[in-house]
Amino acid sequence: MAQIHATALVDPRAELGRDVVIGPWCIVEAGAVIGDGCRLESRAVVKSRTTLGTNNEIGDGAVIGGAAQHVHVHDPGGTLHIGSHNRIRENVTIHRGWNNEAATVLGDHNMLMVGSHVAHDCCVGNHCILVNHVLLGGHVHVDDRAYLGGAAAVHQFCRVGRLAMIGGMAKITQDVPPFIMVEGGGSSEVVGLNKVGLRRNGYTSEQIAQLKDAYRVIYREGRRWSEVLDILKAEFTSGPAAQFHAFFQEGKRGFVQERRISGKATLKIVDMTKPDAGGEQRREAA
């Protein structure tokens, strides 16, 4: 039996599992599916075309499954699928897919802190953390165990790799490779491997050493990009570093660059948004 507060509005066409708790002033629309053991705190809203797995916590004022924020409106729009054991805190917003066949997907065991936003057509994996006021644009893909610091913003269609760590207030406009740490604030550049996250998640010293070797090939040796890809494919065929080549092969927006750029880099582009103190433009290796 579900426990529904007297002030909550639950459409009779919604589907509620066992032991669901719906707090004061909540709204659950027609067609919403809420799995066993879920809990909605006061003023939480679950919109139609939304499916929640089991044992999810939805915080006060959260709006789950709202229509995509897009100038071209599809009616009724896509769907939102949320897995199990997620903690979605106060005033979080998650939008369903944009067109009628599209879906936004949130996996299992994630924590979305106060005021974070997941836009239409995003895919967030498992065990991810979005700290307060993180913003994911449309079609963003976040892999398992990624960590996004407070108020970090990710541009639409970007990807954040597995176990990447992004600092607070970072501006992400290109893909973030797996296992990488990106500095927050105005820099938003790669500053090394996420070694703390790797150790906490059980990666061995040998695996971390392998990732360091691959990191040097990618960022430190000044090789042509085609050569980097060839080396990654030939020399890192197993272990966690094998994920680099697969990730880079699928990239369409380019990749966040390291703060320290090798002088041997053969292809460089000028970033006109970052003037140096000396008047010349800072260059980022492509």
Residues annotated catalytic, as ranges: 120-121, 138
Structure tokens at 149: 């610091």
Strands in 180-182's sheet, in edge-to-edge order, are: 3-4, 21-22, 39-40, 57-58, 87-88, 111-112, 129-130, 147-148, 165-166, 180-182, 190-193
Question: Which residue reads 């999810």 in tokens?
Answer: 56
**Interacting residues of 258 by C-beta distance below 8 A, sequence separation 6+:** 189, 190, 191, 219, 220, 285
